[in-house]
């Protein structure tokens, strides 16, 4: 007799998939707002060093020429679009889970940055943005003069 360890999370995952399929089939054919169904937001990490803020965003499949990065009024905005390329006939898809269409993410920066020295790079589907802190907000060490 084999004992099998029960995993409640596996059962919940199965239930969630079944409910998702139920709603997908129930809503199939209903008119929808095309912007609402295509809306997506890429995931991002933001961290701070002594000299800069760094934002990394996952944008696989997005043409870097079609990404717009702006800093305005201390808000970083990243906009772009991931196109859906139909390499296979639509009727042949079993599942389409990746999000497509236009996206926009905005982040209020926690410190003032030097907008003239901002750098952005794109490698392996990851956009990295380095936002150097303005000189006025960088910590400065003050020497204490010893009294005789």
Beta 101-108 vs 126-132: how paired, if at all? unpaired
The end-to-end CA distance of the chain, in Å, is: 86
Fold of 39-135: Immunoglobulin-like (2.60.40)
Q: Is 124 exposed, middle or buried (0-12, 13-18, 19+ CB in 10 A)?
A: exposed
Residue 128 in contact with residue 120, Cβ under 8 Å?
A: yes
The sign of the CA dihedral 22, 85, 34, 31 is negative
User: pLDDT (tens digit, 0 to 9) for every residue of the chain, 148 residues total?
Assistant: 667 677 777 777 778 878 877 777 666 555 444 444 446 889 999 999 989 999 999 999 899 999 999 999 889 999 999 887 767 666 677 777 888 889 999 999 988 899 899 999 999 999 999 999 988 766 677 788 887 6
- Does this model's pTM top 0.95? My answer is no
What residue segments make up the domains of the chain, in order of their start?
39-135
Give the DSSP letter of residue 12.
Answer: H
Which residues does residue 81 pair with via DSSP β-bridges, in sequence order?
102
């Amino acid at each position: 007799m084999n004992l099998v360890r029960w995993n409640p999370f596996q059962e919940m995952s199965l239930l969630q998939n079944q409910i998702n399929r139920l709603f997908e089939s129930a809503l199939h054919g209903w008119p929808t707002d095309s912007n609402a169904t295509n809306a997506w937001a890429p995931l991002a990490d933001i961290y701070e060093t002594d000299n800069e803020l760094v934002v990394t965003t996952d944008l696989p499949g997005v043409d870097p020429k079609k990404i717009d990065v702006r800093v305005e009024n201390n808000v970083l905005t990243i906009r772009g679009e991931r196109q859906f390329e139909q390499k296979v006939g639509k009727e042949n898809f079993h599942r389409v889970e990746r999000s497509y269409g236009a996206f926009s993410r905005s982040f209020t920066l926690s410190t003032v940055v030097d907008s003239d020295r901002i750098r952005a790079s794109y490698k392996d589907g990851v956009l990295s943005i380095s936002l150097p802190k303005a000189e006025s907000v960088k910590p400065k060490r003050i020497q204490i003069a010893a009294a005789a």
